[in-house]
Chains A and B, each alone.
Chain A
Amino acid sequence: KAGVTQTPRYLIKTRGQQVTLSCSPISGHRSVSWYQQTPGQGLQFLFEYFSETQRNKGNFPGRFSGRQFSNSRSEMNVSTLELGDSALYLCASSQAIGRETQYFGPGTRLLVL
């Protein structure tokens, strides 16, 4: 079974731009979560989607948004990029919500100049 895939793997943007990252979960998994990893803040939870609905949200500004499609694929969008948004963005999928192990993708490395 294929793992979680994320595209693109690397991205360079400039301040003020917006970016969309994509995540395809493991086949059969219906829950997708997003995390931001930075050297200073570590791994931080962004949001979780299940059945196209956001079920849980971390403490990030409204510039960070996401959505999930009917095939469980998910996208996250960051508008008006700031230098501090440079990070590794990790997507994780699980079979359902609650009690499930989350399996992570390889991440998207975003550099904001």
Chain B
Amino acid sequence: AQKVTQAQTEISVVEKEDVTLDCVYETRDTTYYLFWYKQPPSGELVFLIRRNSFDEQNEISGRYSWNFQKSTSSFNFTITASQVVDSAVYFCALSGFANFGNEKLTFGTGTRLTIIP
């Protein structure tokens, strides 16, 4: 069975501080995808990034960066110089690729990030 753990339930930081959201996953699949989604108060899940299990290169997109470490089954997300607009709930998710059709996303419980002006 697949599992995603986001141990940090809530995080509050002052604007312009850096913040890292942790994600640890469990899967028996040899090939899988990891995702991060952002959920603002409006409710819509906004796609941020997808990572293939074979690609362990870190990725940077503007103020966002992701650190994927297969050895520790972690896929952490860092926001640099946080802004109030970054306030949202962030979900880490895992998608298996074992069988055709078995592509449901397994989500973590989410981390509520509050940026204090």
**A82-B111 Cα distance, complex, nearest whole Å:** 28
Which stretch (B43-51, B57-65, B68-76, B79-87) binds chain A? B43-51
**A112-B85 Cα distance, complex, nearest whole Å:** 32
Whether A45 pairs with B97 at a CB distance below 8 angstroms is no
Question: Is the CB of B101 closer than 8 A to any CB of chain A?
Answer: yes
For B101, give its contact among A43, A56, A109 (CB under 8 Å). A56
Chain B residues near A105: list those with CB within 8 A: 44
**A105-B35 Cα distance, complex, nearest whole Å:** 17
Question: Is the CB of B102 closer than 8 A to any CB of chain A?
Answer: yes
- Report B61 CB to chain A, min CB distance, Å: 15
Whether A45 pairs with B105 at a CB distance below 8 angstroms is yes
Chain B residues near A104: list those with CB within 8 A: 37, 44-47
Whether A56 pairs with B109 at a CB distance below 8 angstroms is no
Question: Is the CB of A98 closer than 8 A to any CB of chain B?
Answer: yes
**A103-B107 Cα distance, complex, nearest whole Å:** 14
For A99, give its contact among B44, B97, B105, B108 (CB under 8 Å). B97
**A104-B46 Cα distance, complex, nearest whole Å:** 7
Chain A residues near B45: list those with CB within 8 A: 90, 92, 104
Whether B104 pairs with A33 at a CB distance below 8 angstroms is yes
For A102, give its contact among B43, B105, B106 (CB under 8 Å). B105
Whether B110 pairs with A42 at a CB distance below 8 angstroms is yes
Chain B residues near A71: list those with CB within 8 A: none
Q: Which residues of A contact B (CB under 8 A)?
A: 33, 35, 42-43, 45, 48, 50, 55-56, 58, 88, 90, 92, 97-107, 109
Other A-B pairs, 13, CB within 8 Å; known A92-B45, A99-B103, A104-B37: A42-B107, A43-B105, A43-B107, A45-B106, A48-B104, A56-B104, A88-B43, A90-B43, A99-B97, A101-B35, A104-B47, A106-B44, A107-B44
Q: Which residues of B contact A (CB under 8 A)?
A: 33, 35, 37, 42-47, 50, 91, 97, 100-110
